[in-house]
Amino acid sequence: MGRLDRLELHNFKSYGGTVVVGPFKGFTAIIGTNGSGKSNLMDAISFVLGVRTSQLRGNQLRDLVYRNLEDPQDDHASRKAYVKLIYRKNDDSDQPDEIEFMRTVTVGGSSEYRVKGRVVNLERYNSELAKIGVLVKARNFLVFQNEVEGIASKSPKELTTMFEEVSGSAEFRNEYQGARTERDTAEEEVTHFWRKRKGMAAEKRYCREQKEEAERFKRLQQQIADMKTEKALFELYHVDTDLRTFKSEVKVVTDELEEQQRRAEKKESAFKAEKSKIVELERDRTKLERKKKRLSDEIEKLRPAEVKYETEKSVLTRRIKGDERMLKKLQEDFNNGVAFASSLDAELKECREEIANLEKEIKDAEESDVSPESLAEYKSLKEAVAARTSVLEQELEASKRNTEAAAKEKDVLENREKMLRERVTSAAKDVDVYQAKAAELAQLITATEREKRALQSEHARIGEANAERSTVRRQLEQAYMDATQALRDAKADIHESGREKVVNDAVERMKGLYPGVHGRLSDLCQPIQSRYREAVAISFGKHMDAVVIDNKQTGAECVRFLKDNRVGVISFIPLDDIRPQPLDESLRRLGGTVRLTFDVVKYRDIYEKAVLYAAGNSIICDTLDEARRLAYEGRRRVKVCTLDGTLISTAGFMTGGIGRRDASATRKWDRGEIEKLKQKRNRAQQELDALGSAESDRQRAATLAEKIDELSRKLNMLGQDRRDSLTRAKSSQRSVEQTTNELDTLLPQIQRAIAEHRSAVENAHAVEARLHGLENELFGDFAQRHDVESVHQFEEQFVQKSRKLRSRKVELETKESGLQSSLKYKTGQQNKTSLARTQKKIENQRERLAEVEDQLSSLGSKRVELETRLEKMTKDVEDIVQQKTRTSELISEKRQEFRKETEGVAEIEKDLMLKRSRMEQLRSQRLKLLTTAKVGQVYIPTKDQDSDDESEPEEEDQRDADGDTVMETPVETDNDGTQVTVDANIKIDYSRLSRRHRAAATVDKQKEMLETYEEKIRAMQHQLDGLAPNMKANEHMSDVNEKLAEIDRDAEQARERARKAVQRFEDVRQKRQDRFGACYNHVANKIDEVYKQLTRSAAYPMGGTASLYLEQQDEPYLGGIKFNAMPPTKRFRDMDQLSGGERTVAALALLFAIHDFRPSPFFVLDEIDAALDNLNVGRVSAYVRSRAPDLQTIVISLKDSFYERADALVGIYRDLALQASRLLTLDLTEFDEPTPSAIAAQ
């Protein structure tokens, strides 16, 4: 087997330029520091052997090209890179056969593959690598860094996938899936044909049974048809008889109705004349109510501001009082501090003056009456004594300094004690002040909470009252809406479309929302006589349904409302903005039956412009001839409309008839119940007005809620102030406690300072006594000559005064130091900032209080003014209500008279409607019977059927007395969608109907006979339904036989396809199983041997145990492979419970066993010893070393115990100047230790 000889890298990753690596030995180790480029060399080997870029620590191929990041002029974009691998087939011959594999990253960022210098595609490249034993997909030639331990941790299914790639059985995976799918499909197809043939055999038996029932079925069909014909003739005969009876009754009732309507119109005119007065009063009252509401709203709007300012005033007043008390206390403390500091300053000045006087006295005392010679001798001796007593002098001086320091420390501590006691007193006063303030705030909080609870109770009571009023209001509103809906239904077309209903609802809602909306023009006017209704409706045209409004602004709001609710298009007539065409007075003088449309319409004066705008100069006449003469023969063109609705426009176009929209408009003036509905609606409206609007209830509730919110905010502020006061009281109390504790700590310090001062004084006296003894010894002769016992007596006589003065000076200096400390501390305490800040705060609060009081005064004046105006308007409303009451009484009388007449009209109309409705029902019933017979193919005999089938029916059968159509020839649709034409006026021959059936005049008798017919038909139909034969049974039998033969042929073909599919599947399965089994068996037998070699030691010569187990024996590649390893002295465990080093050794054993099955000429391992200890590293390196003769191994390692066994070393280092990786190669075979046989030979 050949081996890897060398590599050539050109601009690959960190290797700039061209670098040759090699030649590689049987066991080559690659070493180097971190970041030097070891792994990049591993990537180079992987790259040239076809591994994907994503596994080479790069996102794209251009990332593999070398770049010098330190050189700004580096042009790596135009640079290409390649890796060349030279493989030697025969390593023993003098001229070995070499194969050169080369992979290049082009400038364009793509890969180029070459074998022996020739460009090939990736498939050919992988094929050439496979010839030398390198499998790119199985990666049997390398192990990446950190992959070793992951191999041992693979799941059984992942191990199976790896074995399939190594064994090559993965090549059959897709073919296996396809063959298995084909086999399953073929078997399902065979089953399908078997089930299909079974079903066809059953169908054949069923066809024979149906054939026997066919003849009996035909006989029953004829009997049922005859019975249905007789039943239809019976029903039609009695329907025609009832129609003739009702037609004569309708004519009589119609004449009676016309007479009653004429009497009702006279009463209606008188009633409406009185009603117009109350409408005017209602309009005035409504305007005043609206003004009252606006004033009430303004008064209610003032309340929140008043509550706000009153709350703020209360809070400001309370805060000013508290701050004034605080200012007074701060001023007293400041004044006391100033007085105390002044006294300290005066005492300090006196002390300094006394010190100055003492210094002068000391100087005078030292210049006494002693002779200069004696003084000089004294000084000389003093200097000699000083030279001999310098140590004692220094010790005395140190003792004095200690004494002074102890005295100063004692004074400082005593001053500190005094200051702390003053602080305790001040803090105790603060505690009392803040606690008193907190108690005051607590009382105020209690009062405020009591007020809040009262308001909440009031709010709850008002809420309950509002709920009751809301219930009553909803009932009244429902009554109002019902009346309004009834009015709308009465005024609209009976067959009103869905869009018209939406538009009507929108108009009513706009009338409720916007005061400037009056209603539709058709609701605000009507013809003076009923005969002008059609003509007026045609003349008004599209303006008939236009909505009358006050001005354009109201129109804009209405248009916005329509857009928001997506209602559609509605026309508006603004009264203040329209400019109607003036009337042509000459048209009134045309004569004949001509009248202006404007003159035949009744309306209120405020709607005159709207009516004039809609009618214009159109005219109405009685006949069409007169209309033609006026339109075509006159000197000017005019718009003419006849009483029957024929319209001739100014352009000369003529239109006739009344459309659905125009008919709907005319019906709006044809309802006698409209006034009743209006009265019901007006009563509901009055009660709603008396009850008050829901908005006012909500405003009252909202006002109380706002007051409650204001009190809640006030409570929050008071609570915060109380918490602040309590916090400050606690803080002051803590200050008292802390200061007391500090005093407790300070008192022992003062006692220690006094003791230390006493000790220092005693020490100073002892040193001074020693010093005086030595002085007396040296001053003996001098004392005798001056007749003194000792030098101290001399000093007392001549220097005593100076010494006493100096002692006094020391005491004064100590006092001065204490006074300075006290004055400095007191001056530091005195600060006017808090005093000035408190004064400024009080001034700001007083200014804000003045502003709040001004606002309250202004709001109060405005409230008085508004309440005065509201009282006056209330009185005006009461006057109008009284006038309206008197007018209503008069209207009630007129209404009663009109109601009696309209009730009479309604009774007659109801009777007429019932009779006409019954006639329509009978006509519909007759038509339904004929249609049912035609659809059901029931024979109906007619008169003169042979000669008169196409003749027209008589006129009396076509129209009733009013000229309305009685029957028409409709087009019906039967169940299968076929159109059926029925002649509703057909003359039926009842000669087949017996006298007994014709004589059944009562409903009960007719019902009894119909039940008899139906019972007979049901009995025969039941027999017929029980048979249900197939009339084409013979034809169906032959079709079944042909299908059976076809199914047999298809089933045989399916069985043949299934047999072939099963055979193909078994062949593929066997191939796949053979390859997989060969690999598994080899590795399973080899792995235990390899693992024992890797774990064997002197202590454990048998080593560990490793094994593989198949989860599925029949088809192992569909299941998983379990890998277990048991190191020496360890019991059996799962792989994931082993240590990292144990898993690494197990993984290496598996890799070496797999490599033994599918050996590649070389094996590249990247830092596989990372998780191994030195013992295991030695075992692995020894194993690799032992395999070196027949397995070339290239290892990247950082452990010397591993690479010291190598045949060659490749050292990688970083060239900092070029920012590139460089290498050094060392052949270690020259340094091998000689074997015992070699030594013996020498």
pLDDT digits (tens, 9 = 90+) for 690-732: 666 555 666 677 777 877 887 887 788 888 888 888 888 888 8
Q: State how far the Cα of 948 lies from the Cα of 989, in Å rounded to an integer.
A: 13
- Backbone phi and psi for residue 521, each to the nearest 5 degrees, phi listed first: -60, -35
> By three-state DSSP, how is residue 519 classified?
strand
| Close Cβ partners of 339 (under 8 Å, ≥ 6 residues apart) | none
Q: Which of 132, 150, 172 is nearest to 50 (CA)?
A: 132
> By three-state DSSP, how is residue 20 classified?
strand
461 exposed, middle or buried (CB, 10 Å; 0-12, 13-18, 19+)?
Answer: exposed
SS (H, E, C) 433-478: HHHHHHHHHHHHHHHHHHHHHHHHHHHHHHHHHHHHHHHHHHHHHH
| Close Cβ partners of 1084 (under 8 Å, ≥ 6 residues apart) | 1107, 1108
Q: Which residues of 409-418 are buried (b: 16+ CB within 10 A; e: fewer)?
A: bbbbbbbbbe
The answer to whether residues 1090 and 1153 touch, using CB atoms and an 8 Å cutoff, is yes
Give the pLDDT of residue 965: 40
**CA angle, residues 180, 183, 186, in degrees to nearest 5:** 150
Q: Taking the CB of residue 1141, how many other CB atoms lie within 10 A of it? A: 18
| Close Cβ partners of 782 (under 8 Å, ≥ 6 residues apart) | 377, 378, 381, 791, 794
Give the pLDDT of residue 537: 87
> By three-state DSSP, how is residue 620 classified?
strand
Q: State how far the Cα of 58 lies from the Cα of 588, in Å rounded to an integer.
A: 102
Q: Which of 46, 70, 71 is nearest to 57 (CA)?
A: 46
CATH class of the region 1-141+1165-1242? alpha beta
Half-sphere exposure of 478 (CA within 13 A, CB side): 6
- Parallel, antiparallel, or unpaired: how do β-strands 98-105 and 81-88 relate? antiparallel
Q: Taking the CB of residue 345, how many other CB atoms lie within 10 A of it? A: 14
Q: State how far the Cα of 1146 lies from the Cα of 647, in Å rounded to an integer.
A: 108
319 exposed, middle or buried (CB, 10 Å; 0-12, 13-18, 19+)?
Answer: middle
Q: Which of 1131, 1142, 1138 is nearest to 1095 (CA)?
A: 1142
At 77, list the tokens.
């974009």
**CA angle, residues 944, 950, 954, in degrees to nearest 5:** 75
CA torsion 908-909-910-914 (nearest 10°) is 110
Q: Which of 39, 41, 10, 38 is nearest to 114 (CA)?
A: 10
- DSSP-derived secondary structure letter, 617: T
Q: State how far the Cα of 959 lies from the Cα of 965, in Å rounded to an integer.
A: 5
Domain with CATH 3.40.50.300 in the chain: 1-141+1165-1242
At 551, list the tokens.
């001005």
* pLDDT digit string, tens, across residues 1158-1167: 777 777 887 7
Paired with 27 in beta bridges are 1193
At 190, list the tokens.
């065979």
At 426, list the tokens.
């001040």
Give the pLDDT of residue 374: 67
Distances in whole angstroms, Cα of residue 1135 to Cα of each of 90, 1040, 1141, 1149 = 41, 67, 12, 14
Dihedral sign, CA of 486, 488, 493, 498? negative
Give the pLDDT of residue 102: 93
- Parallel, antiparallel, or unpaired: how do β-strands 547-549 and 517-520 relate? antiparallel
Distances in whole angstroms, Cα of residue 46 to Cα of each of 49, 55, 56, 1240 = 5, 9, 8, 45
AA letter at 1103: G
Q: State how far the Cα of 134 lies from the Cα of 121, in Å rounded to an integer.
A: 17
Q: Which of 662, 645, 583 is nearest to 616 (CA)?
A: 583
Q: State how far the Cα of 1079 lies from the Cα of 159, in Å rounded to an integer.
A: 12
The answer to whether residues 4 and 87 touch, using CB atoms and an 8 Å cutoff, is yes
Give the pLDDT of residue 673: 52
Give the pLDDT of residue 547: 92
Q: Which of 99, 125, 98 is nearest to 111 (CA)?
A: 125
Distances in whole angstroms, Cα of residue 635 to Cα of each of 586, 589, 590, 831 = 12, 14, 12, 109
Packed helices 674-691 and 390-491: angle between N→C axes, nearest 10 degrees: 160
Give the pLDDT of residue 955: 36
Q: Taking the CB of residue 1162, how many other CB atoms lie within 10 A of it? A: 26
Q: State how far the Cα of 1153 lies from the Cα of 167, in Å rounded to an integer.
A: 13
- Give the start-end residues of each E strand in 111-222: 111-115, 118-120, 142-143
CATH class of the region 493-667? alpha beta
Half-sphere exposure of 772 (CA within 13 A, CB side): 14
Q: State how far the Cα of 268 lies from the Cα of 528, in Å rounded to an integer.
A: 11
The answer to whether residues 930 and 940 touch, using CB atoms and an 8 Å cutoff, is yes
- Parallel, antiparallel, or unpaired: how do β-strands 979-981 and 971-973 relate? antiparallel
The answer to whether residues 778 and 381 touch, using CB atoms and an 8 Å cutoff, is yes
AA letter at 72: P
Give the pLDDT of residue 509: 82
- DSSP-derived secondary structure letter, 1128: T
- DSSP-derived secondary structure letter, 632: I
Give the pLDDT of residue 548: 93
With tokens 């191929």, the residue in question is 61
Mean pLDDT by 10 residues, the chain (1242 residues): 84 87 85 84 85 73 79 72 86 66 83 89 85 74 68 80 80 84 85 81 74 75 83 83 82 82 79 76 81 79 75 78 78 74 77 76 58 67 70 76 79 80 81 82 86 85 80 76 67 50 81 85 86 86 88 87 81 88 83 87 89 90 86 79 87 70 57 61 72 63 78 81 83 84 84 83 79 71 68 60 65 70 62 73 83 84 83 83 79 77 78 78 82 82 56 39 42 50 76 80 82 85 76 74 82 85 86 84 85 81 85 83 83 75 81 78 77 78 76 80 80 84 84 56 47
Domain with CATH 3.30.70.1620 in the chain: 493-667
Long-range pairs, 132-136, Cβ under 8 A, ≥24? 132/2, 132/87, 132/89, 132/99, 132/1160, 132/1161, 133/1, 133/1158, 133/1159, 133/1160, 133/1161, 134/49, 134/1160, 134/1161, 135/165, 135/166, 135/1158, 135/1160, 136/49, 136/50, 136/51
Q: Taking the CB of residue 322, how many other CB atoms lie within 10 A of it? A: 19
Paired with 981 in beta bridges are 971
